[in-house]
Amino acid sequence: MTGDHDRTTSRSVRVLGAPLDLGANRRGVDMGPSAIRYADIEAELAAAGVDCTDAGDLDVPRLETSSAASRESTGNAKYLDEIGRVTETLATEVAGTIDDGAVPLVLGGDHAVAMGSMFGAARNAEDGIGVIWFDAHGDYNTPETSPSGNVHGMPLAAAHGRGEFADVEWAETPAVSEENTVLVGIRSLDDEERAALRESEATVFTMREIDERGITAVVEDALEIATDGVDGIHVSLDLDWLDPTVVPGVGTPVRGGVNYREAHAALELVAERDREAELLRSIDVVEVNPILDRDNRTAEVAAELAASAFGKRIL
């Protein structure tokens, strides 16, 4: 879908592909970065007035070359050693991109890549960073509480140093405070994950809040909380945040998500706040699985939403 942009100053964006699938329970998400590029994300970003460069994909370990022993590397967390190495590499790339004056746009891969995105975005952030987590899930499990052991359900808990992630050098990110973390559109939580979020100082807006108050009011509140007293924000967009009728190509679909227009409105609000103060420090777009998709529809939506976050307007 096309649209105009009204940004007075263009942002520079560097695309970083992170084709990781070791954190997920279904194969295919490693092809997500390629699918989003095939959906012509560069043209979408150009329509937003963005100066975009593509740094290509990180070299990540593949399931076929991962050792069976790594499944038990930390409690119930599968492939945690390999994912940790990817996290460190991605964090360095993200931090370097910010140092170069560009905004890193990380294309996943599964949501475990967000650990690297946040870790890198928080580097050299004296006042810390806020996080807005657009997702159907809380991603607040730890190796001890996870029913599946899949690390893509743990990145936010890792950043907050929860459970076994406490003091793990590449996981816990003290500059990502719970008080400046906001989860938006949540509708599927495990029991222990729900308890941990209730006990935390993170803010959770479920789909019920969106239903009752509307997407604009909820996202405006999320932005106020996430941007309070920090150097900038990281935005993490899991495509399963949207209803699966809109984005069929995701590995963990949950009915009752936001619709196409609500998703764009949310990301447009992010762009408006960024236009005012350049608060968008980094963004990742994750969990596009082309094997499960139809006609690359989910990747196309991912590319369009990324462009909305940088100022492209539909209306």
Residues labelled catalytic? 111, 135, 137, 139, 152, 238, 240, 287
CA angle 268-256-294, nearest 5°?
Answer: 80
Laid out side by side, the sheet with 51-57 consists of 51-57, 12-18, 103-108, 280-286, 232-238, 129-134, 176-186, 203-206
Give the residue from 259, 204, 291 showing the smallest Cα distance to 30: 291
Q: What are 292's two structure tokens?
A: 């499960």
Asked whether 289 and 171 are in contact (CB, 8 A), the reply is no
How many whole angstroms separate alpha carbon 187 and alpha carbon 139?
Answer: 12
Asked whether 92 and 119 are in contact (CB, 8 A), the reply is no
Asked whether 304 and 294 are in contact (CB, 8 A), the reply is no
Question: Cis omega (within 30 of 0) on the bond before 256?
Answer: no
Give the residue from 142, 254, 128, 145 showing the smallest Cα distance to 181: 128
Q: What are 75's two structure tokens?
A: 């409690």
